[in-house]
Amino acid sequence: MQIAWRLIGYLRRYWLACGAAYTCLLVVTGVELFIPSLLRRGIDCGMKASGAAEKLANGCPADTDPLTVVGGAALAIVGLTLVKGAFQFGQGYLGEYGAQRVAYDLRNEIYSHLQKLSFSWHDRSQTGALMARATSDVEQLRNFTGRAFLQMAQFALVSIGVTVVLFVTNWQLAIVSLLTLPLLYRSAANFVRTVRPYFYQAQEELSVLASIVQENLAGAKVVKAFAREPDEIRKFDEQNELLLKQYMLAARAQAFANPQLDVLAQIGTVMVLLLGGYFVIVGTLSIGELVAFNTYLLLLVRPVRRLGFTIGQSSRAIAAGERIFEILDAPVDVEDQADAKPLSQITGTVTFDHVTCSYYGGEAVLKDVSFEAHPGQVVALLGATGSGKTTVVNLIPRFYDVSQGSVRIDGHDVRDVQLLSLRRQIGIVLQDTTLFTGTIRENIAFGVPDATDEHVFAMAHAARAHEFIMEFPDGYATRVGERGVTLSGGQKQRIAIARALLLDPRILILDDFTSAVDTETEALIREALNVLMEGRTTLVIAQRVSTVQSADQIIVLDHGEIVGVGSHEELLETNDIYAEIYQLQLMDESAVHATSEKTTTELVGANGNGGGNRWTDAPQRHGPNGNGVARPDLAAQAVRRAD
């Protein structure tokens, strides 16, 4: 019910349209109730029943020609139907209009609310589920708001009107003919309750079948390689049989329930014929009234039948509404404080002061982290997957809030300033290199839509994206995303770098920014960055030691704690974890192979969790510039010598 009230709240914005729709409904119902009486008049006053009981003159003008009366009635029917048609259109259109607007509003609201929700909320939600809410759940609700409220109102109006008219005409006949209505309603509701679950179950079986197909297609090669087709076909056939059975259950239930509604609806007609016929013979009812009675009854049948469905629909709509409002009611945990001031031009000192951070009240992801990064410095963060590197950088633009301690920029706690003013001054290359539908230029200028061409090109150059962009026929006007060209991971990453650089930020954050580009390109990008980083505060997350070793400060993280700070040389001597990472990455492949059995046991023993996924870096990924890694010129010399 609460959901219904909230929906009504949304509808209220369109009170004019809604009010008009209900007005139309009133007119339509009025005309509908009036037309049978015209029929009655036409039949009673205009037609001669030879030998019939002379109870015909009921309410007919005595001195008029019968044909004039009929003509009047016929014309009135046509005229009123015309009027009714206009209002019927109005009712249908305006009712839907409100519903469509509400759907539109809901979608926009969900959308903008999602934009406000912090990363920690998004970490927990799945895109697929959110999509379902914004599309199918809203559609569900739309169907309901559009028709259900109007239908209920119509049902109420028609049933009250018809009941009154019937009782006024002939109360005995009214009681008898209305007897079947509760039954009709019950069987319609029953239908919804009993038949729907069968179809629902069948739908479930179908989705199981679909996943079997999907898997078979995705694994086609493996299935063929292991000659498993017969087993796959058997598995499918079994599920196919199940589906067949479920469909048949549904079909049987429906087959008997569906015509039942028709039969019940017509039983009323039989009653009217029988009892009404008797009354006509006796002379207490006219033939016209008998016909009108039947017409009135038919007026009631449709809304009653539909009501059963509407009620079935309402439970699903309410469930959909609950899911939608669950999103809309999700508290925005990261938002501007009431007295937040805009952050003025920063110089770029980043301070972490005893920061502890935990997501959704769980275990702390960062524990008591303190460090400071100054303008012009490059600070590198190193650590295993899950050690908290990404969390550190995500706290700076305030994608999350700290649990304890504070993150300060130029001495301002990030929670005390306006989010937009903060984020506009930070350039970040996320692991997530999502590009948006549009041209490449639009994507690079994502943060600065009014950037000049020269500026955009320059940044693309620096990110080593310019060359491949120019290889596309449309250059910077090439469309990406939906219906556009598909870019490789490395290309996307380079555009994301250009996008961040274009902001000309005082603080630059690079989260594993070259994971998808080859080592040569990485070197070129780094070269360009070296120039661009000058004077800025740069935070870099990397997997490769070679990438971080030239940093001013390397922070080694393990399980959310800082376990080492210093330069490459310092850490190599003093920090075991750092040294271990370095050694592992430089391990000679042939040595690994020759002693693989031994090494495996050793590693398992040493680490306690051997096959774990701690360092997502492989030996073959070494860059050409690192210490101890071959330099191309050296190799070339070697070749020449070998020749």
Partner 1 sequence: MGGPFWRGVRHQNNTKLFNGRVVRRLWDYLKPHKWRIMWALALVCVTSAMQLLGPYLFKVALDEFVIARQDIVGLIVVALVFTGTLIVSWGTQAYQAVSMAIVAQAVLNRMRAELFAKINHLSLSYHDRHESGVTMSRIINDVAVFQELLTQGIVHVVADCLLLIGILGIMLAMSPTLALLTMSVLPVMVIATIVFTSTARKAWLRTRETIGEVAAGFQENVSGVRVVQAFAREEVSKKRFDKINRGNLQANLRAVTLASMYPPVVEFMSMAATAIVLWFGAHATLDGTITIGVVVAFLFYVNRFFQPIRELSQVYNLFQQAMAAGDKIFELIDHPIDVEDKSDAGEMRSITGRVAFEQVDFSYVDSVPVLRSINFVAEPGQTIALVGPTGAGKTSIASLLARFYDVRGGRITVDGVDIRDVTMASLRRQMGLVPQDPFLFSGTIADNIRFGRLDATDEEIVQAAKLANAHDFVIRLPNGYATRVFERGQNYSQGQRQLIAFARAVLADPRILILDEATASVDTRTEVLIQAALARLLHGRTSFVIAHRLSTIRNADVVLVINHGAIIQRGTHRELLGQPGLYRDLYLTQYRHQIRGSQLVEEMATA
- Please give the residues from 351 up to 410 whose contact with partner 1 meets the rule CB under 8 A: 397, 399
Pick out residues in 124-183 that bind partner 1 (CB under 8 A): 127, 130-131, 134-135, 139
Build a one-symbol-per-residue string for 199-218: x at contacts with partner 1 by CB under 8 A, - elsewhere: -------x--xxx-xxxxxx
Candidates 16, 86, 332, 477; binder of partner 1 (CB under 8 A) is 86
**Contact flag: residue 62 with partner 1 (CB under 8 A):** no
Contact 23, 151 (CB under 8 A): no
Own/partner long-range contacts of 252-255 (Cβ < 8 Å, ≥24 apart): 253/194, 253/195, 253/198, 254/191, 254/195, 254/198
Q: Cα(624)–Cα(479) distance, rounded to whole angstroms?
A: 34
Q: Smallest gap, in angstroms, from Cβ of residue 614 to partner 1? A: 6
Smaller CB distance to partner 1: residue 236 or 472?
236
**Contact flag: residue 487 with partner 1 (CB under 8 A):** no
Pick out residues in 623-642 that bind partner 1 (CB under 8 A): 624, 628-631, 634-636, 638-639, 641-642
Build a one-symbol-per-residue string for 13-32: x at contacts with partner 1 by CB under 8 A, - elsewhere: --------------------
Q: Smallest gap, in angstroms, from Cβ of residue 267 to partner 1? A: 7
Build a one-symbol-per-residue string for 567-596: x at contacts with partner 1 by CB under 8 A, - elsewhere: -----------------xxxxxxx-xx--x
Smaller CB distance to partner 1: residue 49 or 552?
49
- Strand, coil or helix: 323: helix
**Contact flag: residue 603 with partner 1 (CB under 8 A):** yes
Build a one-symbol-per-residue string for 432-471: x at contacts with partner 1 by CB under 8 A, - elsewhere: x-xxxx--------xx-x----------------------
- Strand, coil or helix: 499: helix
Smaller CB distance to partner 1: residue 430 or 460?
430
Q: Which residues pair with 507 in a beta bridge?
A: 426, 537
Q: Smallest gap, in angstroms, from Cβ of residue 259 to partner 1? A: 4
Burial code of 473-496, b = ≥16 C-beta within 10 A, e = fewer? eeebebbbeeebeebeebbbbbbb
Contact 297, 272 (CB under 8 A): yes
Contact 333, 120 (CB under 8 A): yes
Smaller CB distance to partner 1: residue 192 or 503?
503
Pick out residues in 260-319 that bind partner 1 (CB under 8 A): 260, 262-263, 266-267, 269-270, 273-274, 277-278, 280-281, 287, 290-291, 294, 298
Q: Cα(508)–Cα(377) distance, rounded to whole angstroms?
A: 11
Candidates 10, 17, 29, 84; binder of partner 1 (CB under 8 A) is 84
Q: What does the DSSP 8-state code read for residue 613?
A: -
Which uninterrupted H or E stretch holds 195?
helix 180-218
**Contact flag: residue 98 with partner 1 (CB under 8 A):** no
Pick out residues in 501-520 that bind partner 1 (CB under 8 A): 503, 519
Name, in order, each residue with C-beta under 8 angstroms of 288's C-beta and a sequence gap of 6 or more. 39, 40, 41, 42, 43, 44, 45, 58
Candidates 254, 314, 347, 439; binder of partner 1 (CB under 8 A) is 254
Contact 345, 410 (CB under 8 A): no
**Contact flag: residue 485 with partner 1 (CB under 8 A):** no
Torsion of CA 368, 373, 377, 379, to 10 degrees: 20
Smaller CB distance to partner 1: residue 197 or 619?
619
Q: Smallest gap, in angstroms, from Cβ of residue 206 to partner 1? A: 7
Only one of the segments 2-10, 335-343, 401-409, 419-427 lies at the binding site for partner 1 (rule: CB under 8 A); that segment is 419-427
Q: Cα(327)–Cα(336) distance, rounded to whole angstroms?
A: 20
Name, in order, each residue with C-beta under 8 angstroms of 2's C-beta and a sequence gap of 6 or more. none
Smaller CB distance to partner 1: residue 486 or 609?
609
Residues binding partner 1: number (CB under 8 A): 176
**Contact flag: residue 619 with partner 1 (CB under 8 A):** yes
Burial code of 299-314, b = ≥16 C-beta within 10 A, e = fewer? bbbebbbbbbbbbbbb
Only one of the segments 109-117, 315-323, 345-353, 549-557 lies at the binding site for partner 1 (rule: CB under 8 A); that segment is 109-117
**Contact flag: residue 256 with partner 1 (CB under 8 A):** yes
Token pair for 450? 């009014």
Q: Smallest gap, in angstroms, from Cβ of residue 580 to partner 1? A: 10
Cα 342 to chain centroid, rounded: 32
Nearest to 352 by CA among 123, 567, 557, 121: 557
